[in-house]
């Protein structure tokens, strides 16, 4: 006790302030470990996933918020000079508002993704959607921070409005692609995962729609980058828009000596046997045969109509089904003719 009398009072206050800061950080870690663990177990019992997204988002910056609260309390206990307290308060304000803004942006993205996953919407995974949401929240957070720091945002908004006109004139192509990307995303005519074919252009699976361009992965696994403005103006065939199921027409030619009724029965029977054996070959709608185009130059032409699960499944289904049909034709004695051409030689 004798030694304590000689310790200045301010040093004791500084020591208490440091203990408060350390305690706030320690309490933050303990709460994050035990409290959020209990909250996670409670969230698993609910049907909604919004609480899970909230817990995951808040868990990251929680210790920082506890530390900021401890530092704020420590600066009041330590009786620091007004100039120092003013600076520390501004630093804490920047940390809190900045971390809350980033947390809200991440929470919004998590909610959008979970909503898209539950509803089967691919719009939630579009890069343009996520970038727009994140940028909007960050801009609002920055304006709130500037206003909280006593910086007037009215002149800044005025300057941005005037400067925005000059930027818009200088970045016409970029803005055209951006607004076209927003239109494509909101219209939902083209979504990530859809198989599309552009008029006089590439075809493949849409992988992402960004603020500038849409990326398409072709069957050969090449990436094609199409500007959003060009894509919005192009005629696009979307094979997944209403449903992924795709009708597949397989042309078959047989000899003129074949019985059309027999050929039709063999094709339908062999196709029904292949259902369940050939992957992605559907039993509904049922397969059928059309006697068309009909009478060819050297063969009777039929069209076998089947349905596959998606557009990209047609290639493997054709490969397997054609081999089954060829083997069955051989067993049934149905001839597949070679091209025949009659040449008349005229003697002078």
**297-347 confidence digits (pLDDT tens):** 888 999 999 999 988 888 899 999 999 999 999 998 998 888 777 777 888
Q: What is the pLDDT of residues 62-72, one digit of tens each?
A: 888 888 888 88
Name the band, by pLDDT with cuts 50, 70 and 90, for residue 85: confident
What tokens were used for 336? 């597949």
CATH of domain 246-332: 3.30.70.100
Least confident among 2-6, 40-44, 76-80: 2-6
pLDDT number for residue 252: 92
Asked whether the predicted pLDDT for residue 255 surpasses 70, the reply is yes
For residues 113-135, average pLDDT:
65
Asked whether the predicted pLDDT for residue 5 surpasses 50, the reply is no
Domain boundaries of the chain, sorted by first residue? 2-164, 189-238, 246-332
Asked whether the predicted pLDDT for residue 88 surpasses 90, the reply is no
What proportion of the chain, given as a percentage, has pLDDT over 90? 17
Q: What is the pLDDT of residues 160-185, one digit of tens each?
A: 666 666 555 555 677 777 878 888 87
For residues 269-296, average pLDDT:
90
Cis peptide before 119 (omega within 30 of 0): no
pTM, to two decimals? 0.58
CATH topology of domain 189-238: SH3 type barrels. (2.30.30)
Q: What is the pLDDT of residues 113-122, one digit of tens each?
A: 776 555 555 5
**Greatest pairwise CA separation for the chain in angstroms:** 140
Q: What is the pLDDT of residues 203-218, one digit of tens each?
A: 899 988 887 888 999 8
């Amino acid at each position: 006790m004798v030694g304590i009398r000689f310790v200045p009072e301010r040093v004791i206050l500084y020591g208490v302030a440091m203990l408060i800061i350390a305690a706030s950080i320690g309490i933050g870690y303990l709460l994050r470990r035990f409290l959020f663990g209990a909250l996670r177990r409670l969230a698993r019992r609910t049907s909604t996933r919004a609480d899970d997204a909230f817990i995951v988002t808040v868990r990251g910056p929680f210790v920082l918020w506890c530390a900021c609260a401890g530092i704020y309390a420590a600066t009041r206990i330590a009786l620091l000079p007004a100039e120092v307290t003013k600076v520390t308060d501004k630093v804490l304000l920047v940390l809190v508002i900045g971390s809350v803004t980033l947390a809200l942006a991440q929470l919004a993205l998590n909610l959008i993704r979970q909503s898209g996953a539950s509803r089967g919407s691919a719009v939630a995974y579009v890069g343009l959607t996520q970038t727009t949401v994140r940028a909007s929240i960050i801009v609002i957070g920055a304006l709130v921070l500037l206003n909280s720091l006593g910086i007037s945002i009215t002149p800044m908004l005025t300057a941005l409005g005037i400067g925005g006109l000059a930027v818009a004139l200088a970045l016409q192509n970029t803005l055209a692609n951006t607004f076209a990307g927003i239109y494509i995303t909101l219209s939902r005519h083209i979504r990530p995962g859809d198989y599309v074919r552009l008029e006089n252009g590439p075809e493949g699976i849409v992988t992402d729609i960004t603020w500038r361009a849409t990326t398409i992965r072709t069957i050969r696994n090449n990436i094609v980058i199409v500007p959003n403005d060009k894509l919005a103006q192009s005629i696009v065939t979307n094979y997944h828009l209403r449903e992924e199921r795709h009708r597949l027409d397989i042309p078959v030619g047989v000899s003129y000596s074949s019985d059309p009724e027999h050929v039709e029965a063999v094709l339908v029977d062999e196709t029904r046997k292949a259902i369940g054996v050939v992957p992605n070959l559907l039993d509904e709608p049922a397969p059928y045969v059309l006697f068309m185009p009909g009478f060819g130059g050297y063969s009777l032409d039929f069209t076998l109509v089947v349905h596959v699960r998606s557009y990209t499944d047609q290639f493997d289904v054709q490969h397997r089904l054609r081999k089954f049909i060829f083997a069955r034709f051989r067993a049934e004695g149905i001839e597949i003719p070679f091209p025949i051409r009659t040449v008349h030689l005229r003697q002078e």
